[in-house]
Amino acid sequence: LVGGAALTKKFTLLRILPQYDGPVLYAKDAMNGLALANQVMNEDEREEVMRQLERERLVLEQNAAEANDRADTSGSRPTKPSVDPQAFVFTPPDTSRHVLVDYPVSFIRPYLNWQMLLGKHLGLRGNVDKALAAGDEKAVELRDLVDELLSSAEKEGILRPAAVYQFFPAVADGNRLLILDPDDFDKVLETFDFPRQQKDPYLCLADFVRDRKQGVVDYVGMLSVTAGKGVRELAESWMAKGDYLRSHALSALALEMAEAFAERVHHMMRDIWGFPDSPELSMRDRFVARYQGIRVSFGYPACPNLEDQAQLFRLLHPEDIGVSLTDGFMMEPEASVSALVFSHPEARYFNVIDGGIA
């Protein structure tokens, strides 16, 4: 059974399943995973689950083949680009690798998305801010629990945030993003091949850097952050003692702490890259990306190939902050985030699958 925000049923059946001899089932959430586990353990239902798995795989393979037939194989950009191909190039102050270890939890705490933490992960319904302001009993109870965990994170080190980030020279070649050697712009270190929308506005992530034919070197950023090792083991020990809520809250906090740290590091990168946020920009504005540039992670709509994690790891070496890749290109510890960062003033999030803007 596999799941998680960076996985889809399509990726599971077309990329993960072929690597294993046995069945691989995708669960969209914990309850779906429990239902699938029960079906697989039931001899009467197991065979039908396997048949359905094969039917879904065949349909996805056929759809993928048809999409490839329709796709433009030239790899070129649209005749009329939907973003400015000659936007100002923001040059970072250096291309050195920056490593942050034991980063203060208090510096990350303002970037925590409480709606996601208490709402999505801990099951609080409705608007979290309003519930807390109104003194809702459950909301206050959950917030106090998280506050207690944050205090332990600061005093006892149950969370050990760490990060690494770096700027790289880069140019585009059609749909490809070429990462150049900071010491030799003629040398390509890695190549990311991104999909392009097959509908207007025909966006591709490579559009957000200068084309190599222009003779101008652009830049992209990369980052990797983690909430630290040992969270899973501690959460499991609490669960074994029957402290289920505390265990679940710790796991949820670690995940959101990693997201918050990624937001913090991205904020820092914008500042030093030369396009700092407006003083009026609120944290809520940051959560919905009302700043210049974008931060994209592999496995998501604009860069769906999770295998590209390996290239980022070769460039950034997150192993030095305790983050490693599994055989399925997932990060370990789970509460970790990696991303590419673009500076283009018109960069925006979009979905390659249906051609729409995400």
H-only helix segments in 184-282: 231-240, 244-273
| pLDDT score at 253 | 97
| pLDDT score at 2 | 81
| pLDDT score at 357 | 44
Quote the DSSP letter at residue 12.
I
| pLDDT score at 1 | 85
Q: Which two tokens stand for residue 91?
A: 């040059």
Helix pair angle (231-240, 244-273), 10° resolution? 160
Residues with Cβ < 8 Å from 254, sequence gap 6 or more?
Answer: 159, 227, 228, 231, 333, 334, 335
Residue 217 CA neighbour count, 13 Å, CB half: 16
| pLDDT score at 245 | 95
Kindly give the confidence (pLDDT) of every residue in the chain, 358 residues in length, as a single tens digit, with 9 standing for 90 and above. Answer: 887 655 677 778 777 877 787 788 888 766 677 777 877 887 777 777 777 777 777 777 776 665 555 544 445 555 566 899 999 999 999 999 999 999 999 999 999 999 999 999 999 999 999 999 999 999 999 999 999 999 999 999 999 999 999 999 999 999 999 999 999 999 999 999 999 998 889 999 999 999 999 999 999 999 999 999 999 999 999 999 999 999 999 999 999 999 999 999 999 999 999 999 999 999 999 999 999 999 999 988 899 999 999 999 999 999 999 999 999 899 999 999 999 999 999 999 998 864 444 4
Give the DSSP per-residue string, 94-153: ----EEE-S--HHHHGGG--HIIIIIIIT---S-HHHHHHTT-HHHHHHHHHHHHHHHHH
Give the DSSP per-residue string, 313-333: HHHH-GGGGT-EE-TTS-EES
